[in-house]
Every structure is written in C-alpha cells, then in structure tokens.
C-alpha cells in the first residue's frame, strides 16, 4: 500500500483551483463552457441594469479572439477594501468576493455570486478591466489569472461604468465562439429588461437589441406567424420583495411554448414559480367558467 501523508495534501493558491478543474465552475471546456465566460461578464452588467444604474451594454467579439463587455453602470469600486487591497483587485482576482451576498448593493442578481469575474479571469490568456468612475479611468491587468498590473489611474473621462476585456485560454478551451448562439441570449436579455440597450458587434456586423415593451414584445416575437386568439395578457406585481412579470397569449397551435426565468436566468426545468403560475391560471379560468355559467359545449370548443 502506498503511503498517504501530509506531504500529499496540495493547497492551490489564488485561482489555481479554477484552472486545475474548470468544469467544476463552468460545466465544461467545450462550446457551452466557452460561451458561459461571456454570459458571466454580461450578467454582471445586467445586474447593474436591474439595480437601475445601467442603460446600455456593448459586447464585441474581436478579431484576435478576445471579447469586450462594456456597460454604463456605477463601475466596480476601486477604493481600498478592509484587506488593504483595492476592491477591484479583490473581486477580479479572488473567489467568493463580490457585492451580491448582501442586499445592499443589489436586491436581485444572476450569475455565480462572487465567482463569475474571477473564474473568467482564471480561464483567460489575459484580462484587462477598465473602470470609469468619479471622472477617472482605472485599470488592472492579469495573465492566466495572475496579476501583472495592479490598479492604476490612467486619466480622466466623462464616462461611467466598467469595461472587461479578456481572451479565453486556448490551452483550456477546445471550441470557438458562435455569434448566433450569443446573439440569441443577448436578444433574450433585452426582452427581459425593457428599455435596456444591448449592442453586439461581431465580424462586420453590429446589432442593436432594445425592447420598450419587454416581455410583451417577447411573446409577440415567439408567436409571429401564428394565429393568435386575443391580445397579449400582461401583469406585473411585487409582494414581500419578490417582483413578478407575466405575459401570455393563446394561439390556435396545439403545442405550448413556455419560457420561465428567475433573475434573468432561464429555468429550463420549471420550478415552483412555473407550478404556481399554471395552478393559478387554471383556477382563474375554472372560476370564470363556473361563475359565468358557460355551457360545456362552449368549453369543449
């Protein structure tokens, strides 16, 4: 039997654990995992939009294989954390560090809390972050998750927000970006966040997604080409700090298309929110039929 002692215990420092086992954090290193890197950064900008501070997000697939995501939100804090480091260095270079664990900075948020930005950093050949805050430009740079330039003030600006640029590490990923796969998600996010402008640039194309009608326009988009039976029903409410938005429309089709999300994240396997909606809708229809004494023959039709 081989000896198993304390010297066999390995401690991975910083972001080494992510590079060692990327699948634990992003699922895989194929197409899904590669695109997940982009979604994690975009989700941070979406959270700023939900909080009411961001109105535009610009995403670009660059010719060198890198990606840039820029928003006009508040900008990642750059002031000193209690640890002595800049808050920007903490959230970009350390796992489980972020502003989404309490309800102070963000009431709701999606993505991997305190993990997303640092995981993308760990799995990138290089990453550069620029923060536009208080009239100044701040930057920080990494290579394969290791800090190569600490937070530095680079000049002045009238902009506000954060720009994250990174190039996925080709030693880890065995796939390339699919612009059409990405654009579907960006369009979806624009539908889910009414009024938010999402610009996507790839190759020689530049697309703009913005829907003032929000999920009502989402339903209209889904039902295009179908025979609709009524106007889109829409409702929005909040109770005990939980906001709910619902839009639906019946068509002559025999199949059902149901899309559910929580904090902008699609819940493909449903959940209590889907079960609750279906139960409430069924009860409301049955009560209407009963209270209005609608003939059974009409119900069957």
pLDDT tens digits for range 42-57: 999 999 999 899 999 9
Measure the CA–CA gap between 198 and 186, rounded to whole angstroms.
Answer: 7
- Return the closest-CA partner of residue 228 out of 249, 246, 258: 249
Q: Is residue 215 within 8 Å of 192, Cβ to Cβ? A: yes
Take residue 98 and report the two structure tokens written for it.
């972020």
pLDDT tens digits for range 62-72: 999 999 999 99
Q: How confident is the model at residue 233 (pLDDT cuts 50, 70, 90)?
A: very high
**16-209 sits in which CATH class?**
alpha beta
- Average pLDDT of 219-244? 93
Q: Which CATH architecture has domain 215-300?
A: 2-Layer Sandwich (3.30)
Q: Domain coordinates of the chain in residue numbers?
A: 16-209, 215-300
Q: What's the first-to-final CA gap in the chain, in angstroms?
A: 75
Measure the CA–CA gap between 23 and 33, rounded to whole angstroms.
Answer: 8
pLDDT tens digits for range 131-153: 999 999 999 999 999 999 999 99
Measure the CA–CA gap between 213 and 222, rounded to whole angstroms.
Answer: 14
Give φ, ψ of 166 to 5 degrees: -155, 155
Q: How confident is the model at residue 221 (pLDDT cuts 50, 70, 90)?
A: very high
Give pLDDT, residue 83. Answer: 75
- Return the closest-CA partner of residue 115 out of 97, 100, 127: 97
């Amino acid at each position: 039997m081989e000896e198993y002692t304390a010297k066999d215990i390995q401690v991975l420092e910083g972001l080494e654990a992510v590079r060692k086992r990327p699948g634990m954090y992003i699922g895989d290193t194929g197409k899904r995992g590669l695109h997940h890197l982009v979604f994690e950064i975009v989700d941070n900008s979406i959270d700023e939009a939900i909080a009411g501070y961001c109105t535009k997000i610009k995403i670009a697939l660059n010719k060198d294989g890198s990606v840039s995501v820029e928003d006009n939100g508040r900008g990642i804090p750059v002031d000193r954390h209690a640890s002595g480091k800049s808050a920007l260095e903490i959230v970009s270079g350390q796992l489980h560090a972020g502003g989404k664990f309490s309800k102070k900075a963000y009431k709701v948020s999606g993505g991997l809390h305190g993990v997303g930005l640092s995981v993308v950093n760990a799995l990138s050949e290089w990453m550069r972050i620029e923060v536009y805050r208080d009239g100044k430009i701040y930057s920080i740079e990494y290579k394969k998750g290791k800090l190569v330039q600490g937070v530095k003030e680079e000049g002045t600006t009238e902009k506000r927000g954060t720009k994250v640029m990174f190039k996925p590490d080709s030693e880890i990923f065995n796939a390339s970006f699919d612009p059409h796969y990405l654009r579907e998600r960006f369009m979806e996010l624009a539908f889910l966040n009414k009024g938010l402008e999402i610009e996507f640039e790839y190759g020689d194309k530049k697309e703009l997604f913005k829907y003032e009608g929000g999920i009502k326009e989402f339903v209209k988009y889904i039902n295009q080409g179908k025979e609709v039976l009524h106007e889109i029903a829409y409702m929005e409410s909040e109770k005990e700090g939980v906001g709910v938005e619902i839009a639906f429309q019946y068509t002559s089709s025999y199949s059902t298309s149901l899309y559910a999300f929580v904090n902008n994240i699609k819940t493909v396997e449903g959940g209590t929110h889907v079960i609750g909606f279906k139960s409430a809708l069924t009860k409301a229809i049955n009560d209407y039929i009963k209270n209005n004494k609608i003939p059974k023959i009409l119900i069957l039709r």
